């Protein structure tokens, strides 16, 4: 079993060389956040992750969360790590300084954020959800509730949850049954059952702040009738400290495929006291503000698990000796060559690396757009960023989590039969990765969101904004002239094709609305490969722009990067053509077969 | 003002597998992760704890090194040092030069205590603290595993070959610290932000009246020989036999 090492060099390369983090932050008026500070934040986050979190990743999986008569015990070490994390101030990374946070844009801290997830994803969800809940309260809660809850959550004294799902209500929130009845004193009484609630109950803190979606008695039907409430596990005493139980109980926790350390709770609310967040029937509006952040957070989980998988595979392919190179022995003094001499193993290693490192550029870029949307002083720039974020969020969420399944699966494959055995640790990565394709909106729903709401819904405006940004960056990148012409042409060709596919689907939708759903998955993937090609193009341009001192060390590193770029353009990018063909095939082949015949 | 000075050296991170340059002129440093010498980090942690207990008023981190050593000093400031001094040097610094500079700073700053690591993990010289004490003309306690302030006296437990030795020395003094003294804290995010605003003075050797001279000449760096494969012996008798043949017993 190996431990996680933060890929500092690649993270810094992506932040500074590819994405020019300093300039991006300066454009937000944060020229105080210079490279030294960004690297300092990464370094301290990485240290914490490597020494405190990484061991919890395995231990938490072995031990799992336990339920006993309503109480939930997290795995050994979870609480100590949580307290240390909170004491170090990480819970308040993004929150406003007025509430005790640091108010940092993502670009200043996203690399540290990646190391926390990679360190121990199941553990990290408690603090990650708390950050999300804080953001929701900041957007929609009344001042009194903000002062009651937010500082405690930022300090790590209390955690937060998101309670949407019910047994009959998963993707379709219109089916929600949990009720909220107004009291004379302005509070509400909530009753109903929520399932699958991550960290709904635990022993990390003495209170838990639930953000609960429910229906008011006069609610209109469907998703338009949903309101958001803040409901603490224990009621607050006059001095703000936790008092009596509030009618919020954990009935059991689920036994599941992965993230064993994270308790997934069935929560029963019985006349629990809560306060409205946002407007009556306006719960989803607040949730939508949170949605981008939460979905990028899940994309980050995909990336982080894939990085861990790639590290494990790279080490194993170096240490494990089997067979001889087809070109003759390489490790002559050894009984056999290391695995990485074999073309098929190289195919897997390069696939993993191309997805992980290209995915990192894509995701950090998405976070940078999110920063612009959240914080840029000019409305016109924010508006453009809104289009870019709207497009890239479902792409990043779905693609990077599907990618995580492929990459963690490959890590098992590189380990051979040993990968199937628990001791090597890679099968856990595969089990943990699957949930990222499911929650925070399944990947199918992400594709629908992209194709329907974002692309067709905007009359194609979002994709045009995106493609213009793709072209703009390529026209102005300093190293552009030195990128192989074939790769530049490939990106342009794909960008053009994405525009064409948009027109094709838009044309068909006027005849058959099912065309949106039929095209969605493949359209999203085509867009993802186009964006990934752009990211690899930018990577190569950045390498060309600053050759640095041509020392052995840096030559080896850049040679690896270039080889990975080449592999991507030659062997992974052709997958885009298959997705384009599938989009063009249209809905008929999916929809014409009657259900009886389909399921016969 | 009860002031503690702490020596902070920028070295290759302990986790890096160092490689000797092919031409043998040194160790490859490009793109290699650099950190605070782990012993120095422990020295700083001890100084910060003293300040937190009210046994000191100010902690000053000092380093001699390239411009980039500011990174390590910023980390020291984020850990809690009040201010920092970088004495710029673009070449490697020998222990005697470091001791001369630290002595000058100790005098200029009217230090009550100077804490340094017992050695730096790059050159492992284990000399700077001792030379500093001699040049400064103050008592020293080396390899500290426990430090207690008793008014104007310091009680120091030292790790020596025979076990533990306890000394009492008068302040001002020099203490070099060992690994078991404490476990350095994790840096807090708000403190990283605050560290940006703390003073960091960049000075030259001339500012402290020191003229660095090269007394040592390194002619060649070579990597240690890799361990060759061992053999399994069946009995103690066979082991003794093998050792005898190798001239080892
Ligand atoms: C470990 C874990 C943790 C979770 N944590 C939380 C949490 O903290 N809070 C919370 O509220 N929820 C949580 N969830 C719930 C999670 O978000 C839901 O499971 C998810 O949204 C899918 O809902 P469902 O399971 O009911 O699937 P369903 O909605 O039944 O979907 C089944 C399948 O049908 C597809 N599908 C459904 N509707 C459509 C449609 N309109 N068009 C196309 N395809 C469709 C889906 O993509 C999926 O493939 C968690 C779940 C798990 C397993």
Alpha helices in A320-425 (DSSP H): 343-375, 379-414, 417-420
Is A165 touching ligand 1 by the criterion CB < 6 Å? Answer: yes
| Contact assessment for residue A95 and residue A151, using Cβ atoms and an 8 Å cutoff | no
User: Would you place residue A552 in the very low, low, confident or very high pLDDT band (cuts 50, 70, 90)?
Assistant: low
Q: Which residue of B has its CA nearest to A90?
A: B189
For the Cβ of A322 lying below 6 angstroms from any atom of ligand 1, the answer is: no
Q: Write down the pLDDT at residue A547.
A: 55
The beta-carbon contacts of B15-24 under 8 Å, at least 24 apart in sequence, are: B15/A5, B19/A553, B19/B223, B20/B221, B20/B222, B20/B223, B21/A552, B21/B221, B22/A552, B24/B220, B24/B221, B24/B222
| Residue A196 within any structural domain of the chain | no
Is the pLDDT at A77 greater than 60? The verdict is yes
| pLDDT number for residue B228 | 73
Distance A435 CA to ligand 1 centre (A): 10
Give the nearest chain B residue to A5 (CA atoms): B15
Q: Cβ atoms within 10 A of the Cβ of A384, count?
A: 18
Average pLDDT, chain A: 96
Task: Answer yes or no: are the C-beta atoms of A51 and A115 closer than 8 Å.
Answer: no
pLDDT one-digit tens code per residue, A476-533: 998 899 999 999 999 999 999 999 999 999 999 999 999 999 999 999 999 999 999 9
- Strands B3-7, B113-117: pairing is parallel
Which of A38, A47, A53, A89 to mutate to probe the B interface, most B CBs <10 Å? A89
Establish if B242 touches chain A: CB-CB under 8 angstroms: no
CA distances from A270 to A18, A179, A246, A535 (A): 52, 10, 8, 50
CA distances from B40 to A120, B43, B61 (A): 30, 5, 10
Q: Is B187 on the interface with A (CB under 8 A)?
A: yes
Residue A554 pLDDT class (50, 70, 90 cuts): confident
Is there an atom of ligand 1 within 6 Å of A438 CB? yes
What's the CA-to-centroid distance between A196 and ligand 1, angstroms?
9
Catalytic-role residue among A131, A440, A469, A515: A440
Where is A307: in which H helix or E strand?
Answer: helix A283-319
| Any atom of ligand 1 within 6 Å of the Cβ of A385 | no
Mean pLDDT of B178-188: 95
- Pick from B30, B75, B187: which is nearest to A549 by CB? B30
Please, which pLDDT band fits residue A327 given cuts at 50, 70 and 90?
very high
Does an H or E element contain A228, and which?
A: strand A227-232
Given a contact cutoff of 8 angstroms between Cβ atoms, the answer to whether B71 and B39 are in contact is: no
Q: Say yes or no: CB of residue A197 within 6 Å of ligand 1.
A: yes
Q: Is the dihedral of CA A351, A352, A358, A362 positive or negative?
A: positive
The answer to whether A59 touches A77, Cβ cutoff 8 Å, is yes
- pLDDT tens-place string over residues B17-34: 888 888 888 888 877 889
pLDDT at A31: 93
What separation in Å is there between the alpha carbon of A438 and the centre of ligand 1? 6
| Contact: B192, A37; criterion CB under 8 Å | yes
pLDDT digits (tens, 9 = 90+) for A37-75: 999 999 999 999 999 999 999 999 999 999 999 999 999
- Domain membership of residue A481 (yes or no) is yes
Phi and psi for A311 in degrees, rounded to 5?
A: -60, -45
A452 lines ligand 1 (CB under 6 A): no
Q: Record the tokens describing residue B207, joined without a space.
A: 């500012």
Nearest to A460 by CA among A490, A501, A493: A501
Q: Structure tokens of B248?
A: 């080892």
What the block records as the tokens of A122 is 């199941």
Lowest pLDDT segment from A526-535, A548-557, B40-49, B222-231:
A548-557
**Residue A580 in domain:** yes
| pLDDT digits 0-9 by tens, B137-165 | 999 999 999 999 999 999 999 999 989 99
Please tell me the predicted confidence (pLDDT) of residue A191. 98
- State how far the alpha carbon of B185 is from the alpha carbons of A84, A88, B127, B246, in Å: 10, 10, 26, 48
Query: Do B1 and B108 contact (CB within 8 A), yes or no?
Result: no
pLDDT the model gives residue A551: 62
Of B30, B75, B189, the CB nearest to A551: B30
Q: Is residue A201 part of a domain?
A: no
Question: For ligand 1, what atom is nearest to the CA of residue A254?
Answer: 1
Q: Is pLDDT of A550 > 70?
A: no
Least confident of A33-42, A326-335, A545-554, B215-224: A545-554
- If you count residue pairs, one on A and one on B, with CB atoms under 8 Å apart, how many are there? 62
Structure confidence at residue A495 (pLDDT) = 98
Smallest Cα distance from A512 to chain B, Å: 53
Torsion of CA A244, A248, A249, A252, to 10 degrees: -150
Report strand pairing: A264-277 vs A227-232.
antiparallel
Give ipTM to 2 decimals: 0.86
Token pair 């838990």: residue = A208
Q: For residue A1, how many other CB atoms are within 10 A of its CB?
A: 12
Look at A40 and B78 and tell me if their CB atoms are within 8 Å.
yes
Q: CA A179, A438, A287 angle in degrees (round to 5)?
A: 45
Per-residue pLDDT tens for A13-29? 999 999 999 999 999 99
Q: What is the pLDDT of residue B30?
A: 77
B32 interfacial to chain A (CB closer than 8 Å): yes
What's the pLDDT at B24?
A: 87
CA distance A404 to A519: 22
Site from A7, A44, A113, A154 to mutate, B interface, most B CB atoms within 10 angstroms: A44
- Coil/strand/helix, residue A463: helix
DSSP per position, A499-565: HHHHHHHHHHHTT-THHHHHHHHHHHHHHHHHHHHHHHHHHHHHHHH------HHHHHHHHHHHHHH
- CA-nearest residue for atom 11, ligand 1, is A164
pLDDT at B73: 97
Q: Judge whether A420 and A426 are in contact, CB under 8 Å.
A: no
Instruction: Give me the domains of chain B, ranges plus CATH numbers.
Output: 3-245 (3.40.50.620)
Residues of chain A with pLDDT > 90, as a percent, come to 94
Which stretch of A76-80, A384-388, A549-553, B118-122 has the lowest confidence by average pLDDT? A549-553
A440 is catalytic: yes
CA-atom Rg of chain B in angstroms = 21
| Chain B, window 33-52: residues with a beta carbon less than 8 angstroms from a chain A beta carbon | 33
- Residues of B with CB below 8 A from A9's CB? 31
Chain A contact present for B194, CB below 8 A: no
Cβ proximity of B47 and B115 under 8 Å: yes
* CA-based nearest residue in chain B for residue A93: B189
Q: Is B243 on the interface with A (CB under 8 A)?
A: no
Closest residue of A to B76, CA-based?
A: A40
CB contact under 8 A, B32 and A551: no
Q: Strand B10-12 to strand A66-68: parallel, antiparallel, or no bridges (unpaired)? A: unpaired
Domain annotation covers residue A377: no
Q: Is residue B118 within 8 Å of residue B128, measured between CB atoms?
A: no
- Could you give the CA distance from residue A140 to residue A276 in angstroms, rounded to a whole number? 9
Q: Is A398 near ligand 1, meaning CB less than 6 Å away?
A: no
Chain A hits for B71, CB-CB cut-off 8 Å, are 36, 39-40
A130 Cβ below 6 A of ligand 1: no
Task: Give the nearest partner residue to B192 out of A41, A87, A549, using CB atoms.
Answer: A41
| Exposure class string for A77-90: b at 16+ Cβ within 10 A, else e | bbbebbebbbebbb
**A80 belongs to a structural domain:** no
Separation between Cα atoms, residue A160 and residue A180, nearest integer Å? 19
Residue range A186-228, pLDDT digits in tens? 999 999 999 999 999 999 999 999 999 999 999 998 888 999 9
A170 lines ligand 1 (CB under 6 A): yes
Which of B31, B71, B186 comes nearest A84 by C-beta? B186
Q: Is A317 domain-assigned?
A: no
> What phi, psi does B57 have (nearest 5°)?
-105, -30
Residue A287 CB–ligand 1 contact under 6 Å: no
**What range defines the domain where residue A496 resides?**
459-600
Q: Does the pLDDT value for residue A459 go beyond 80?
A: yes
Classify residue A65 by burial, with Cβ atoms within 10 Å: 0-12, 13-18, 19+. buried
Residues of A with CB below 8 A from B21's CB? 552
Q: Walk across the sheet containing B173-177 and list its strands.
A: B163-170, B153-160, B140-150, B173-177, B113-117, B3-7, B58-65, B83-88, B200-203
Contact list, B186 vs chain A (CB under 8 Å): 44, 47-48, 52, 84, 88
Count of structural domains, chain A: 1
For residue A495, being part of any structural domain is answered with yes
Identify each DSSP E strand in chain B by its residue range.
Answer: 3-7, 10-12, 34-36, 58-65, 83-88, 113-117, 140-150, 153-160, 163-170, 173-177, 200-203
**For residue B1, what pLDDT band results from cuts at 50, 70 and 90?**
confident
Cβ-based contacts of B74 with chain A (< 8 Å)? 36, 40
pLDDT at A11 over 60: yes
- Closest residue in chain B to residue A13, using alpha carbons only: B31
Distance between Cα A29 and ligand 1 center (Å): 39
Can you give the pLDDT at residue A548?
A: 55
pLDDT of residue B200: 97
């Amino acid at each position: 079993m190996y431990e996680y090492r933060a890929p500092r060099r690649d993270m810094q390369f992506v932040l500074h060389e590819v994405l020019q983090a300093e300039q991006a932050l300066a454009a937000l008026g944060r020229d105080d956040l210079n490279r030294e500070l960004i690297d300092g934040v990464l370094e301290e986050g990485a240290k914490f992750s490597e020494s405190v979190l990484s061991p919890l990743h395995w231990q938490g999986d072995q031990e799992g969360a336990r339920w006993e008569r309503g109480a939930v015990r997290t795995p050994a070490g979870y609480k100590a790590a949580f307290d240390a994390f909170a004491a170090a101030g990480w819970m308040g990374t993004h929150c406003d300084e007025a509430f005790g946070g640091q108010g940092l844009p993502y670009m200043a801290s996203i690399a540290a954020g990646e190391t926390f997830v990679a360190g121990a994803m199941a553990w990290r969800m408690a603090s990650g959800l708390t950050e999300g809940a804080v953001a929701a309260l900041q957007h929609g809660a009344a001042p009194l509730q903000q002062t009651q809850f937010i500082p405690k959550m930022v300090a790590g004294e209390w955690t937060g949850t998101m309670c949407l799902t019910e047994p009959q209500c998963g993707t379709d929130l219109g089916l929600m049954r949990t009720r909220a009845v107004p009291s004379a004193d302005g509070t509400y009484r909530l009753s109903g059952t929520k399932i699958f609630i991550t960290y709904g109950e635990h022993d990390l803190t003495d209170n838990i702040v639930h953000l609960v979606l429910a229906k008011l008695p006069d609610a209109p039907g469907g998703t338009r009738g949903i309101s958001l409430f803040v409901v603490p596990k224990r009621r607050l005493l006059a001095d703000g400290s936790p008092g009596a139980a509030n009618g919020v109980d954990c009935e059991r926790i689920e036994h599941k495929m992965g993230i064993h350390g994270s308790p997934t709770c069935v929560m029963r609310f019985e006349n629990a006291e809560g306060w409205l967040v946002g407007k009556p029937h306006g719960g989803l509006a607040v949730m939508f503000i949170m949605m981008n952040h939460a979905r990028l957070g899940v994309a980050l989980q995909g990336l982080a698990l894939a990085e861990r998988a790639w590290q494990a595979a790279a080490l194993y392919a170096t240490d494990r000796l089997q067979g001889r190179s087809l070109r003759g022995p390489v490790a002559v003094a050894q009984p056999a060559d290391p695995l990485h001499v074999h073309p098929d193993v190289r195919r897997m290693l390069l696939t993993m690396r191309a997805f992980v490192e290209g995915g990192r550029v894509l995701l950090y870029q998405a976070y940078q757009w999110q920063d612009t949307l959240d914080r840029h002083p000019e409305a016109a720039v924010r508006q453009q960023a809104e289009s870019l974020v709207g497009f890239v969020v479902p792409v990043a969420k779905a693609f990077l989590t599907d990618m995580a399944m492929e990459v963690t699966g490959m890590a098992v494959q590189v380990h051979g039969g040993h990968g199937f055995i628990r001791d090597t640790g890679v099968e856990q990565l595969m089990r943990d990765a699957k949930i990222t394709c499911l929650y925070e909106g399944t990947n199918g729903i992400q594709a629908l969101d992209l194709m329907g709401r974002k692309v067709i819904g905007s009359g194609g405006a979002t994709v045009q904004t995106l493609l213009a940004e793709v072209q703009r960056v390529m026209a102005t990148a300093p190293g552009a002239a030195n990128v192989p012409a074939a790769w530049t042409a490939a990106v342009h060709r794909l960008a053009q094709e994405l525009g064409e596919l948009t027109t094709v689907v838009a044309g068909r939708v006027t005849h058959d609305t099912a065309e949106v759903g039929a095209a969605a998955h493949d359209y999203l993937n085509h867009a993802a490969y186009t964006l990934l090609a752009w990211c690899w193009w930018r990577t190569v341009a950045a390498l060309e722009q600053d050759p640095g001192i041509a020392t052995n060390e840096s030559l080896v590193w850049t040679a690896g990067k270039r080889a990975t770029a080449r592999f991507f353009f030659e062997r992974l990018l052709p997958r885009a053509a298959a997705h384009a063909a599938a989009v063009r095939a249209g809905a008929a082949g999916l929809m014409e077969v009657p259900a009886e015949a389909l399921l016969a | 003002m009860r002031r503690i000075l702490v020596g902070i050296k920028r070295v290759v991170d302990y986790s890096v597998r160092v490689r000797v340059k092919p031409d043998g002129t040194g160790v490859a440093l490009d793109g290699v992760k650099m950190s605070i010498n782990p012993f120095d980090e422990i020295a700083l942690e001890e100084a910060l704890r003293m300040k937190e207990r009210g046994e000191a008023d100010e902690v000053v981190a000092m380093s001699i090194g390239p411009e980039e050593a500011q990174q390590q000093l910023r980390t020291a400031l984020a850990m809690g040092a009040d201010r920092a001094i970088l004495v710029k040097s673009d070449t490697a610094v020998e222990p005697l030069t470091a001791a001369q500079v630290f002595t000058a700073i100790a005098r200029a700053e009217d230090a009550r205590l100077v804490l340094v690591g017992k050695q730096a993990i790059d050159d492992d010289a284990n000399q700077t603290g001792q030379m500093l004490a001699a040049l400064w003309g103050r008592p020293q306690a080396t390899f500290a595993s426990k430090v207690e302030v008793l008014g104007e006296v310091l009680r120091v437990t030292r790790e020596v070959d025979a076990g533990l030795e306890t000394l009492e020395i008068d302040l001002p003094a020099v203490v070099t610290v060992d690994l078991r003294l404490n476990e350095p804290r994790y840096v807090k995010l708000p403190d990283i932000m605050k560290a940006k605003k703390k003073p960091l003075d960049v000075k030259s050797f001339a500012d402290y009246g020191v003229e660095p001279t090269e007394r040592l000449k390194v002619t060649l760096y070579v990597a240690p020989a890799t361990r060759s494969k061992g053999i399994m012996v069946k009995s103690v008798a066979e082991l003794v036999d093998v050792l005898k043949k190798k001239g080892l017993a």
